[in-house]
Chains A and B, each alone.
Chain A
Amino acid sequence: MHPLVVQYRAVVVKEVRQTARDRRVMALITLAPLMQLFLLGFAVNFDVRHVPTVVVDRDKTAESRDYARSQLAGDTLDSKAEVSDELAAEEALERGEASVALIFPRDFQKDLLRGEGAQVQALVDGSDPTRSSVAANAVAQYAVLRAMQLAQAQAQARGETPPRSPVELMPRVLYNPELSTSVYVVPGIAAMLLLIVTTVIMAMGLSRERETGTLEQLQVTPLRPGILMAGKVTPFLLIGLVDVGLALSVGAWVFKVPLRGSLTLVAVATLFYLLSTLGVGLLIATVSRTQQQAFVGGFLFVLPAVLLSGVMSPIRAMPDWLAWLTYLNPVRYYVEVLRGALLKEAGLGDLWRQVLALAVFGFMMMAVASRRFQKTSA
């Protein structure tokens, strides 16, 4: 056997033995990501439903009651209480007991029947922008719908042909027809968890060797840095691949994330992605003296990498200069591959740029880490 192969195998075997013996690390790389995926998959939910709503009905007529009942029948707004006046409604909003108040003025029914532009007022708590815009939308949409229905009913009553809306919108949602947040968010969370676990474990593993002196012992052997790095990374590449498999299974079973595209493409992208995250971990270890420094260093990388990846907030919503930064972030490409392949059945033809970027990033990180390692040892 070639000495380099013997050395490489020795490092792999040693890493596997150390990892297998360490229950905490084993838990960190298997159980923890799954549990977090499970919890975060449920917790991170942008679906706005059941917004508590109070009603002020000064009219107290059949029309006002019917309007309120129909408006609150949908999923978006839930009836919280009926309060006596505007002041009480504002207080409910202030205390956070309700996020929307619907106010029917006196003469609502009279104006309506006379066709004189009956008024409904809606107060919306704007402190959570996503929630309030969805709630305001629901109120506005219902008003349009109601107006249309009334106009049709009145026309019928007069014996005319009911007017039709001049424009009819027929939206059809592709890839995620139920608009479920989980389907969109779970692949992102999987990428994020993989990033955290692999970067931190690698950074701490190598700096532990520095702390205990075994790194110095390795440096007096003929073991080259490149072989050492390759050997250290290999077991975690495989573990990471298994982690992704588990995450996608949980995603499919629990959160109904579809697995439409090529799993081979996902696996290849995962390997390059892991090469990047593990490489960054090694690089962090070369600039850290202790495990503590490595841990902190790991998080200094992981946090911005997650925030600037499109996992948490869309890149399109970022200012241009920040959006540019995301091109230097492997997480961005990996999330694009996962979402593209899983949800849209995108193939290598659609995603080759992202896969290439991940490969370049991965091999570059490993090379830079090896070089830095060589320098610090001399």
Chain B
Amino acid sequence: MTPAIEVQHLTRRFGSFTAVDDVSFEVGTGEIFGYLGANGAGKSTTIRMLCGLLKPTGGGARVAGFDVDKEPERVKAGIGYMSQKFSLYLDLSVRANLEFFASAYGAYGRELETRIGEMVERMQLGAVQDEVTGALPGGLQQRVALASAVLHRPRIVFLDEPTAGVDPIQRRSFWELIRYLASRGTTVFVTTHYMDEAENCARIGIMVDGKLVALDTPAGLKRTHAPGRVLEVRGPRLAPALDSLRGMAGVLDVSRFGSGATVRVDPERLPAEALADWLRARGVDPLELEDSAPTLDDVFLALTARAQRGDD
């Protein structure tokens, strides 16, 4: 079976700035593929090229079996796209939006009714379908936008930061919809900068400064890029102690959060007990020390730090 998306040496330059730099990857049919990166790392530029909105300056991509540069119209018929702006007609009713986007893909009559009916039910929009879209809260607008993007049953749906600015409960129910789409065989290509969301993806590509610096399953990424043991520490006089902790043998990463910090250590070289003793000796007493699991945050921080240091 051919992959849903094949990207080879894809490059996009704007003047002297390279937004996407020689990126290659494949996404399988029915896969939920996460595309992670900071703002300006090249996520949206990649999506825009894959949707035929922007021409690549180098390399190429096949989406839904068609070349994005040579056959953009055929690509467009096979994909759905939802931007972070939820690009809906806010002055029209929910139903008018759905009708418009369904007909833009050529649906009409009974088929249009069936598709909209199904989608309204699946996205639980029945109660609001006659309301003006702009008057709805963000979470509902987001569902209308997703519904508009997948009404024509595309093989692949691109979601560009679909959960930006939406509350956690809405985000969770949104991901249920994404999983439902994938279970029906729709390939989902989603960008986000919420690391907890990225855990839902089968595989994740991480973009730093236009380059794809890592590509693996969430577990694989953690094994490769955030190895060791993660310890959560809390206590008084933590800040000065942490500063001298950085760079100590066996300490892989230190990151602060609120009242404490997570310290990732190589357990071979620095056992947890040794770290605890060292911290107590610096006045961090009483010390709380808990085992924690590495997260994609750790992966992301490690990769960004490595890129900033300039080694590959």
Contact = CB atoms under 8 A, between A and B. Distances in A.
Interface in B72-110: 73, 76-77, 79-81, 83, 85, 87-92, 96, 99-101, 103-109
A174 interface: no
Nearest to B102: A10
A193 to B, nearest CB: 25
B5 to A, nearest CB: 15
B100 A13 contact: yes
B53 interface: yes
Interface string A1-43: 1010011011101100110011000000000000000000000
B104 A222 contact: yes
Contacts of A9: 103, 108
A212 B92 CA distance: 13
Contacts of B103: 6-7, 9-10, 13
A14 B106 contact: no
Contact of A14 (B53, B55, B96, B109): B96
B83 A216 contact: yes
B37 interface: no
B140 to A, nearest CB: 17
B77 A222 contact: yes
B122 to A, nearest CB: 20
Nearest to B80: A220
Contacts of B148: 217
B83 A10 contact: no
A17 B99 CA distance: 12
A213 interface: yes
Contacts of A22: 91
Contacts of B88: 214, 217
Interface string A218-255: 11111110000000000000000000000000000000
Give the interface size class of chain B. Answer: 20 to 34
B51 interface: yes
B91 to A, nearest CB: 6
Interface string B147-175: 01000000000000000000000000000
A145 interface: no
Contacts of A17: 92, 96
User: Main secondary structure on chain B at its contact with chain A?
Assistant: loop
B81 A217 contact: yes
Interface in A363-378: 377-378
B89 A377 contact: no
Contacts of B92: 14, 17-18, 21
Nearest to A14: B100
B35 to A, nearest CB: 17
Given A14-B89, A213-B85, A220 B51 contact: yes
Given A212-B85, A219-B53, A221-B76, A18 B104 contact: no
Nearest to B89: A214
Given A18-B89, A21-B91, A212-B90, A222 B79 contact: no
Interface string B54-69: 1100000000000000
A3 B51 contact: no
B205 interface: no
Contacts of B100: 10, 13-14
Q: Which of B54, B106, B109 counts the most chain A CB atoms within 10 A?
A: B106
Contacts of B73: 222, 224
B52 interface: yes
B53 A377 contact: yes
Nearest to B158: A220
Nearest to B148: A217
A1 B108 contact: yes
B55 A378 contact: yes
Contact of B91 (A13, A18, A224): A18
Interface in A183-229: 212-214, 216-224
Contacts of B89: 14, 18, 214
Q: Which of B54, B55, B80, B96 counts the most chain A CB atoms within 10 A?
A: B96
A266 to B, nearest CB: 34
A21 B134 CA distance: 13
A189 B53 CA distance: 42
Contacts of A377: 53
Contacts of B99: 10, 13
A220 B85 CA distance: 14
A221 B104 contact: yes
A6 B105 CA distance: 9
B76 A216 contact: no
A17 B91 CA distance: 9
Contacts of A221: 76, 101, 104-105
Interface of A: 1, 3, 6-7, 9-11, 13-14, 17-18, 21-22, 212-214, 216-224, 377-378
A-B pairs, top 8 by smallest CB distance, nearest first, are A10-B103, A213-B87, A3-B106, A217-B87, A213-B85, A220-B81, A221-B104, A14-B100
6 contacts: A10-B100, A11-B104, A216-B53, A220-B79, A220-B81, A222-B105
